[in-house]
């Protein structure tokens, strides 16, 4: 008897560009779904298009997922599985579900124009089904090569979508999809079905732009005697004003967000709830994100994404990180000195992004360019001469500044700001009482 089915999902990016928040939302859904049920999450690189796929984009995809903590259990590359697709295509040919067609893109364009002009939907008319063997050899004699279309069964295609609810599409309203191009390149529509069946994918979660693909793919699963997985089509992201996200992709690539100091956990936490009926909350760990994840709680309407909201969540996420959470990134950072727990707890509440922590680490090591107003030169000289003896603790600042207040009559900003600027080189920052004992070179 077969054992229980393990939830298996995949994220299937084409390595033709950098990942952006919209792609990562798909990755987060698939990852969280697998992790929430102890299942398997596969990274599938959809690189059947040799012209547009680039190894450096595949590397960038891995790097982004890694940085976000979206670990995958297995990686597969479609370019290494071409034999399987060819074999599946042969089986479809043998059952007369894959037929050759010879129209050029221009001819197809004219056909659909004519259809539209007479009020008909631009669905491929299956003219190629009527070609005789002689027609074919004549066309091939003219140098034409066939592309191959899947013969849809003109019935209603139905599935219970986990996000969109019950779906029903009339197969007659869709063109027979091209599965193999005239240059022999196998297309995603069949490659994905072969992989999903072969890899035991239980849930396909992807954007709503794939709904029509799903309808045709459900018939391809059936024609190949594979079991169709469950489907969930999430809404697409728009900008804050409802505009399509693609226009602004540059600034919303994961690489860009990383360079901008956004916390990876904030990205995952936000994307795993945005557009669902659950609130977006700051999370302490990826496990917390996984814990409440429920794909059925997402709505079908386009979902607004606002990078300003992400920045807020990122800052709050940073403030909530414990020292143990930051240890591993300390190893990767430029900070080579010992960083104490105390420094992290003194500084974290003032940070907007991680790079500022690196600045504070430098400052406590004595790499400071003191800012001293000419009017304060004398006062600062006096203050530095009156520094209390080490060891310092959190009471030292108060002792020192009270004494200076008594000596000079300065108070409030006039007392504190010149000292902060002299010691840290900045106008703002963590509480000086906490920071002072951490300043190593004074």
Q: Where does this chain bind ligand GLU (CB under 6 A)?
A: 12-14, 46, 188, 192, 206, 210
* Least CB distance to ligand GLU at residue 13 (A): 5
Cβ proximity to ligand GLU: between 74 and 154 the closer is 74
Instruction: Output the smallest distance, CB 60 to ligand GLU, in A.
Output: 14
Rank residues 14 and 424 by Cβ distance to ligand GLU and give the closer one: 14
Going from the C-alpha of 201 to that of each of 61, 337, 380, the distances in angstroms are: 21, 47, 68
Longest Cα–Cα distance of the chain, Å, equals 108
- By beta-carbon proximity to ligand GLU, the closer residue of 188 and 379 is 188
- Name the residue nearer to ligand GLU (CB basis): 179 or 436: 179
Give the nearest distance from C-beta 237 to ligand GLU in angstroms: 14
Cβ at position 196, least distance to ligand GLU in Å:
8
Cα dihedral 13, 14, 19, 21, rounded to 10, equals: -50
Residues 6+ apart with CB under 8 A from 347: 357, 360, 429, 430, 435
The least CB distance from residue 221 to ligand GLU, in Å, is 13
In the complex, minimum distance from the CB of residue 208 to ligand GLU, in angstroms, rounded to a whole number = 12
Q: In angstroms, what is the minimal distance from the CB of 43 to ligand GLU? A: 12
* Residue 43 or 343 with smaller CB distance to ligand GLU: 43
Instruction: Pick the closest to residue 153 from 211, 97, 224 (CA basis).
Output: 97
**H-type helices in 42-167, by residue range?**
55-68, 82-94, 105-117, 133-141
Task: Write phi, then psi, for 372 (nearest 5 degrees).
Answer: -130, 120
Determine the Cα–Cα distance for residues 332 and 67; give it in Å rounded to an integer: 12
Ranked by CB distance to ligand GLU, the top (closest) residue is: 46
Min dist. Cβ of residue 267 to ligand GLU (A): 19
Nearest residue (CB) to ligand GLU, 150 versus 188: 188
Closest to 232 measured CA to CA, from 303, 299, 305, 291? 299
Six token digits for residue 80: 């290494």
In the complex with ligand GLU, the residue whose CB is nearer, 75 or 403, is 75
Is residue 289 within 8 Å of residue 283, measured between CB atoms? yes
Q: How far is the CB of 312 from ligand GLU (least distance, A)?
A: 30
In the complex, least distance from residue 299 CB atom to ligand GLU, rounded to whole angstroms = 20
Residue 238 parent element (H or E): strand 237-238
What distance in Å separates the CA atoms of residue 361 and residue 347, rounded to the nearest whole number?
9
Q: Report the residue number, 178 or 380, with the smaller CB distance to ligand GLU.
A: 178
Contacts of 261 (CB under 8 A, 6+ apart): 314, 352, 353, 354, 355, 356
306-309 contacts at long range (C-beta below 8 A, 24 or more positions apart): 306/239, 306/240, 307/251, 307/252, 308/240, 309/270, 309/280
Q: How far is the CB of 364 from ligand GLU (least distance, A)?
A: 46
| Residue 38, SS3 per DSSP | coil
C-alpha distances in angstroms, 150 versus 112, 153, 189, 217, 235?
19, 9, 10, 10, 28
Positions of E strands within 248-293: none
CA neighbor of 41 nearest in space, from 382, 286, 220? 286
State the burial class of residue 131 (Cβ atoms within 10 Å of its Cβ: 0-12, 13-18, 19+): middle
- When the beta carbons of 35 and 283 are compared against ligand GLU, the nearer one is 35
According to DSSP, the β-strands at 8-11 and 40-45 are parallel
Nearer to ligand GLU, 188 or 305 (CB): 188
- CB-wise, 211 or 372, nearer to ligand GLU? 211
């Amino acid at each position: 008897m077969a054992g229980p089915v393990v939830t298996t999902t995949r994220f299937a990016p084409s390595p033709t560009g950098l990942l952006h928040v919209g792609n990562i939302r798909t990755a987060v859904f698939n990852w969280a779904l697998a992790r929430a049920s102890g299942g398997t999450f596969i990274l599938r690189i959809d690189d059947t298009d040799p012209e547009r796929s680039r190894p450096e984009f595949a590397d960038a995809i891995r790097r982004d997922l890694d940085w976000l903590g979206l670990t995958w259990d297995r990686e597969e590359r479609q370019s290494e599985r071409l034999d399987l697709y060819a074999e599946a295509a042969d089986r479809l040919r043998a059952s007369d579900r894959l037929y050759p067609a010879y129209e050029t893109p221009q001819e197809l364009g004219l056909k659909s124009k004519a259809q539209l002009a007479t009020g008909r939907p631009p669905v491929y008319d299956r003219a190629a089904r009527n070609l005789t063997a002689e027609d074919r050899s004549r066309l091939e004699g003219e140098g034409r090569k066939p592309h191959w279309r899947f013969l849809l069964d003109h019935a209603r295609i139905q599935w219970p979508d986990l996000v969109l609810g019950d779906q029903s599409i009339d197969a007659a309203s869709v063109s027979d999809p091209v599965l193999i191009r005239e240059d022999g390149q196998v297309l995603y529509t069949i490659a994905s079905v072969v992989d999903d069946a072969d890899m035991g994918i239980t849930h396909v979660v992807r954007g709503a732009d794939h709904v029509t693909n799903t309808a045709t793919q459900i018939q391809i699963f059936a024609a190949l005697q594979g079991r169709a997985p469950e489907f969930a089509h999430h809404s697409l992201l728009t900008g804050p004003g409802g505009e399509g996200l693609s226009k602004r992709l540059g600034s919303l690539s994961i690489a860009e967000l990383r360079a901008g100091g956004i916390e990876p956990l904030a990205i995952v936490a936000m994307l795993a709830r945005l557009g669902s009926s659950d609130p977006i909350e700051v999370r302490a760990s990826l496990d917390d994100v996984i814990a409440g994840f429920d794909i059925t709680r997402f709505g079908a309407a386009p979902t607004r994404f606002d990078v300003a909201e992400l920045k807020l969540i990122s800052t709050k996420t940073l403030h909530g990180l414990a020292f143990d959470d930051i240890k591993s990134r300390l190893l990767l950072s430029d900070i080579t000195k010992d960083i104490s727990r105390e420094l992290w707890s003194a500084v974290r509440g003032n940070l907007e992004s991680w790079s500022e922590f690196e600045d504070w680490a430098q400052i406590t090591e004595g790499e400071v360019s003191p800012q001293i107003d000419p009017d304060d030169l004398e006062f600062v000289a006096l203050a530095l001469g009156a520094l209390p003896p080490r060891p310092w603790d959190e009471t030292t600042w108060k002792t020192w500044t009270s004494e200076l207040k008594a000596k000079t009559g300065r108070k409030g900003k006039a007392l504190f700001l010149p000292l902060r600027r002299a010691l840290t080189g900045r106008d703002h920052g963590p509480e000086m009482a906490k920071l002072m004992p951490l300043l190593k070179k004074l």
